[in-house]
Amino acid sequence: MMMVNSTGRFSGQKALLFTPQLKENDTHCVIFQYYVAGREGGRPGHLNVYIKENNSPMGLPVWNTSGPAGRSWNEVELAISTYWPNFYQVRSTHTSLSASNRLFMLNTPHFLHIKGVEVNAGQSATFHCTVNGEWRDNFNLWLQVRRTANCTTKPWNNQRFIGMFDVVNTTKQDSGRYRCIVHSNSGVGVSNYGELTIKQPPVPIAPPQLMAVGATYLWIQLNANSINGDGPIINREVEYRTVSGTMYDLQPVDKTSHKIGHLDPDTEYEISVLLTRPLEGGTGAPGPPLRARTKCAVPGEVPLDSIQASVYEDKILLKWREPAQTFGIITQYEISYKAVSSFDPVLDLSNQSGKVVKLGNETSHVFLGLYPGSTYSFTIRASTAKGFGPPAITQATTKISAPSMPAYDQETPLNQTDSTVTVVLKPAQSRGAPVSVYQVVVEEERPRRARGGEAEILRCYPLPVHYHNASGLNSRYYYSAEFPSAGVSSPQPFTIGDNRTYGGYWNAPLLPHKSYSIYYQAVSAANGETKIDCVRVATKGAATHKPNAVEPEKQTDNTVKIAGVIAGILLFVIIFLGVVLLMKKRKLAKKRKETLNNTRQEMTVMVNSMDKSYTEQGTNCDETQTLTSDTSSLVQSHTHTHSSHTHSLCKREAVDVPYQTGQLHPAIRVADLLQHITQMKCAEGYGFKEEYESFFEGQSAPWDSAKKDENRMKNRYGNIIAYDHSRVRLQNLDGEQNSDYINANYVDGYHRPNHYIATQGPMQETVIDFWRMVWQENTATIVMVTNLVEVGRVKCCKYWPDDTEIYRDIKVTLIETQLLSEYVIRTFAVEKRGAHEIREISQFHFTGWPDHGVPYHATGLLGFVRRVKAKSPTNAGPIAVHCSAGAGRTGCFIVIDIMLDMAEREGVVDIYNCVRELRSRRVNMVQTEEQYVFIHDAILEACLCGDTTIPANQLRSVYYDMNRLDPQTNSSPIKEEFRTLNMVTPTLRVEDCSIALLPRNHEKNRCMDVLPPDRCLPFLITIDGESSNYINAALMDSYKQPSAFIVTQHPLPNTVKDFWRLVLDYHCTSIVMLNDVDPAQLCPQYWPENGVHRHGPLQVEFVSADLEEDIISRIFRIYNAARPQDGYRMVQQFQFLGWPMYRDTPISKRSFLKLIHQVDKWQEEYDGGEGRTVVHCLNGGGRSGMFCAISIVSEMMRHQRSVDVFHAVKTLRNNKPNMVDLLVLNHTSLTHTEQRAEYLSNIRISSGQNPHCAE
């Protein structure tokens, strides 16, 4: 106890009391007793307590008291928190009469500093209270402000223990200050206050906003800026589910707008946005939902397994089920049918085709009037309001009918003796199958058989009975003769009973005393069926007199007379037909000669005088001709059962083709197109040059509106402007009288008026007019056949946005961009102010047209045309087509599109009159002779190759169908398709490979018959002494990226440095090696196993290697010491070990596909898919081509859900003809994915003709 009497002090003087210094980083408890008294009438006493830090001056008191005089003692407990490394001292000061008693530090546990806690509502908050001292049973530990049962303690060390308090299921009301308290016999210890902060997870206030709607996607704006709850927002997610159904998904979002894809058409979805803040439990409840329905789409395919065909001789009953994916209400079914083959080769099937439409609730139809023994292809398509879905194709074959026997007016024989009967055997008419054999049947009349037409079929005899066996079998009939069908090609006499053998049957003499009926029957057999028809040709009664001796001379005379008469008639007919044909041939030759001698001026007059357009030609005609089997063989036609993999063009084997008599430029039959083009290219008198020059050049109709002063600035070129009669007239803008002009013309399609709009590439001044036209005409498809800049000149301005742009009152938003090697597809959402709809518009931008001339091959453009045709809605407005002027390339696209339709529908093409008709609607459509010839070549390629795209879901069935051998021809569709590929593959000329054939480059070619063409050479850039810039390599396109592959030979010892120059110059990130190192074949190891290889200024450094199954992967660092500022490049080499030199195909297809996957993965990870891939085998042909082809088709499968092996290989062959020349296929049952690998990886490419270069 310590007492200080302040009465002896002067006024204001303080009495001080000190504690020892406190140095621990802890909370200390100070307890003392005091009382305060003052003089009578004086001031009351004061007692202040201070904390002094580091000998610094004292600040404000942390505790004080004052009061009137009193004689009682009071006790105070103070919790003092100290922080290392400072030291503290507790001081008390007294004024007036005051006293402090029992000031001491308790030896009770005290706390380290506790921290505040922040949690999200609903979560548990945990306070960690660290106590100095050893835990004892008499300690009482709790959390002040809120008691909790969730308290656990555990020792930290022998001097401290930890108490953990859980505040569970927190809410906003639990926010506040908390502190820990420990009570013991020695006193009470308290901690500092820790703040508990409760945050509310964020929830959007408004639902998401719908921006665009498609059949399989919904584009939304999140609307997540206004929230209930606390931020910050660290994650956004979109939750969507079907309103009726169990489908649910959650997608992370990193932008303010989001496209939800892969949705079902015509389905209502509920979409909400979820927001997340930091810490556990930070995701709020879903925001207000948006309900939206996807657009109706075309339905799925009618299930193939549901199609059932009940076949009869002249009709087929077809039944089916509706598609599993209707994507809307099925409004109708369209069933097209066509006879594709017959067992009877002479049967004309040209009129056996048609189309029927059934209501959506009808799923069966009876096709009547069919030919017996004929195979019909049926194409069934279901339709919703959006249009028709993909076709389901099946085949069914009618039953054959019995041959139709010729009529015999009477049963009187030509001649008759007691033992013989001579009759005339006439050929029967086949009905669905050719006649196999003719048979003569002799029946003994025991009773007589019914005559006339009563049960005529019962008079036929299907069971063969020999004469010797007839009595043993108790048979009344026997076969006396059998002839092959060729033996009765014309009427001819035959004598029954001449004692000779025909077809293994003895023609025994007839017995004079018996009566006989002679029957003549024809047999047809096909497809496991046998049908017979017969007719009675003669009867012979029993002789009533004694048989006379046969008079052979008389009988022979009669027979010779009959045969002579028939032979004379036949000879006359043959001579007459020969004379007629000869005269007609001379007349045609004379007519052609006169045509070739006409002058160009005369032809122009004749052409311009023609009245009918190309759409009328080919349908109204005076003369018809039928394709022969020889000419039709030029056009391949494959139809596969239960598959849509058909050649959609040129599939008519026998069709009546219309010609305009007297016209100079008639339609050309598809089967004659190859011959026609060859003649026109090689003709000396009249060829493509003369035909193109016969077109009228320049203005042929008024264009007054385009010439107005206010419209001159709207024309890119002064000589390519819009005719008045066919121009697109825009709706005038308010207050602008002359705002109806745009340089665009309507052009008719194939039987579709105004199907196209041919226009110039928009200029800055006309972009708004362009989008006005697109909206006004309800255009859903834009075709662009130019690049923005070519040869340094602006050909078209960029009239579309990268995100969103407003063109006057039209808002255009870019939704999706799909980049492919030769074209780009952009999808836009277009809105107009005041219109309550959002339209989806697709732009197809063909980037593969060269700056000069025309594409080297039509393969890419044909694929582009087909993609446009497949993706264009049938119920939309005109297709807008533009290049720069809207005449040359635009005309090429439109003519090709129209002619593909005409070839498919009519089996003819009329290119000349099509161009002429286009020029009547817009000036100078198809601007050059080169473009005109290119159109012919493109149509020819389309007709020869057809559409070989296979939907992914039909790959398995198509694969088996294409490998099914025809037992009669010992061929298969895949072989026929490969023959077509060989036929359309271009042959490289010497001038095409002029650089590779330079003398200085000979030693750089492994094989002189496997050379790259000049147009696809990758010229080396890095300088290396006097080395040339040539390497035996070729640039190849992938599915999405131009020049993605560089195919080359295995480096020769003298070209290793050129190989690494190629890798560095063309930014290659992968090397694929498909052959073995073999010094005997000059195939050295061109890479370092460790350390660095130097090739002039190039340094190749080994980094690492790895072996996985059949693949060794090595990583190298390449560096050009002459250009250190370029840095280094990482390259990974993939050496495939699973393809021995003696095998045509890899040992494991799965390993080969894994190789492709690893290359794709490395390309994407290292260079974002932008780097090129060097592929090499022994000669840069076979194996390299197979790798590229499978890569292309695999990428096509991922992005387009279809495969087209033919197109992929054709594209490769356009640059290097040796890329594919042998097809090897296995017939193994695989899953769908493995089926794809089987189908693709069995492509085998060998090198060419040089045996030393074979792989």
In this structure, what token pair is assigned to residue 441?
A: 């049947």
HEC per residue, 999-1031: HHHHHHCCCCCCCCCHHHCCCCCCCCCCCCCCC
Helix (H) / strand (E) element for 364: namely strand 364-367
Contact 67, 43 (CB under 8 A): no
Helix (H) / strand (E) element for 747: namely strand 741-749
172/669 Cα distance (integer angstroms): 84
Q: Which of 179, 268, 175, 181 is nearest to 218 (CA)?
A: 268
How many other C-beta atoms lie within 10 A of the C-beta of residue 147?
9
What DSSP assignment string belongs to 860-906?
Answer: HHHHHHHHHHHHS-TTS-PEEEE-SSSSHHHHHHHHHHHHHHHHHHH
Torsion of CA 634, 640, 641, 646, to 10 degrees: -90
Q: E strands of 231-304, at which residues?
A: 235-242, 248-253, 257-260, 268-276, 290-293
HEC per residue, 124-150: CEEEEEEEECCCCCCCEEEEECCCCCC
Contact 451, 443 (CB under 8 A): no
- Compute the Cα dihedral for 594, 596, 599, 602 and give only its sign: positive
For 1233, half-sphere exposure in the C-beta direction (CA atoms, 13 angstrom radius) is: 4
Contact 964, 973 (CB under 8 A): yes
26/1115 Cα distance (integer angstroms): 58
Contact 515, 416 (CB under 8 A): no
Contact 258, 189 (CB under 8 A): no
Phi, psi torsion values for 180, nearest 5 degrees: -95, 145
1177 is catalytic: yes
In this structure, what token pair is assigned to residue 1076?
A: 């073995």
Paired residues of 228 in beta bridges: 203
621 is catalytic: no
Which residue out of 883, 1016, 1083, 1188 is catalytically annotated? Answer: 883
Residue 442 DSSP SS3: strand
What DSSP assignment string belongs to 1121-1148?
Answer: TT-GGG-EEEEEEEEE-S--TT-SS-S-
Alpha helices in 464-551 (DSSP H): 467-470
462/439 Cα distance (integer angstroms): 10
Q: Give the contacts of 739 (CB within 8 A, at least 6 positions apart).
A: 730, 732, 733, 769
Which residue out of 650, 914, 1083, 1177 is catalytically annotated? Answer: 1177
User: For the chain, how many residues are written?
Assistant: 1255
Helix (H) / strand (E) element for 912: namely helix 911-921
Residue 1252's alpha-carbon distances to 404, 1012, 1178, 1228, in angstroms, are 62, 18, 10, 33
Contact 755, 739 (CB under 8 A): no
Contact 565, 412 (CB under 8 A): no
Paired residues of 525 in beta bridges: 530
679/729 Cα distance (integer angstroms): 44
Paired residues of 93 in beta bridges: 16, 48
864/857 Cα distance (integer angstroms): 13
Q: Which of 358, 321, 976, 360 is nearest to 636 (CA)?
A: 976
For 271, half-sphere exposure in the C-beta direction (CA atoms, 13 angstrom radius) is: 28
* Burial of 218 from C-beta contacts in 10 A (0-12 / 13-18 / 19+): buried
In this structure, what token pair is assigned to residue 409?
A: 């007016």
**Catalytic residue set:** 883, 1177
